[in-house]
């Protein structure tokens, strides 16, 4: 089945929709539709432009405007000047073997990735207490509005099924 999925993903030439039924680390079962082949760098550039022009007073939020502005500025700075060590670590950890398909170099785990379009929860997972600091909550609220933060990756071993180009690949 993995080979069939890999062949389907390798046949993608442009942008394609993929649907995955998946169980994440919190034991939440969900169906997510994502776009394979969307350029992450373009999304990041659009996010920089969006954050540069964002007026946080227009956001419908219960959070303090000053906190949201600090969060906006910190996010913008992190997009403009990303951590070189972190970026190199992420880039060297995976080998890309096709559009939306990469393998972890150390573990050999296959991942499918792309930009999330929609998510439907089938079964609720384990909920943890929210221990985030207020600034992190503010950043997360702004991140929901961005494109590059919608990229998701799915470990093939945790998936039940994939739908690609009208074909359904079921993992037993």
Whether 168 shows a pLDDT value over 80: the answer reads: no
pLDDT score of 161: 67
> Which tens digits make up the pLDDT trace of 16-26?
788 888 888 88
- The upper half-sphere exposure of residue 53, i.e. CA atoms within 13 Å in the direction of its Cβ, equals 7
Burial zone of 76 (CB within 10 Å; 0-12 exposed, 13-18 middle, 19+ buried) = middle
Average pLDDT on 32-38 reads 86
> Which tens digits make up the pLDDT trace of 110-153?
888 899 999 999 999 898 898 999 999 999 999 999 999 999 98
pTM value is 0.79
Backbone angles phi, psi at 119, to 5 degrees: -140, 130
Among 72-81, 96-105, 130-139, where is mean pLDDT lowest? 96-105
Name every residue whose Cβ is closer than 8 Å to that of residue 23 and which is 6 or more positions away in sequence: 29, 158, 160
Q: DSSP characters for 117-156?
A: EEEEEEE----------HHHHHHHHHHTT-SGGGEEEEEG
Cα 123 versus chain centre, distance: 20
């Amino acid at each position: 089945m993995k080979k069939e999925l890999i062949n389907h993903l390798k046949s993608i030439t442009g942008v394609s929709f993929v649907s995955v039924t998946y169980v994440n680390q919190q034991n939440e079962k969900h169906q997510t539709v994502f776009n394979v082949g969307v350029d992450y760098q373009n999304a990041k550039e659009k996010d920089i432009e969006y954050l540069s022009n964002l007026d946080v007073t227009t956001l419908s939020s219960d959070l303090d405007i000053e906190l949201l502005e600090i969060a906006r500025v910190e996010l913008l700075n992190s997009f403009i000047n990303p951590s070189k060590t972190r970026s190199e670590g992420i880039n060297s950890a995976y080998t890309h073997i096709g559009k939306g398909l990469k393998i972890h170099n150390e573990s050999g785990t296959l991942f499918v990735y792309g930009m999330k379009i929609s998510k439907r929860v089938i079964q609720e997972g384990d909920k943890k207490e929210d221990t985030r600091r207020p600034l992190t909550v503010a950043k997360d609220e702004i991140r929901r509005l961005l494109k590059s933060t919608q990229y998701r990756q799915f470990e093939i071993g945790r998936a039940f099924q994939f739908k690609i180009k009208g074909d359904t690949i079921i993992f037993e």
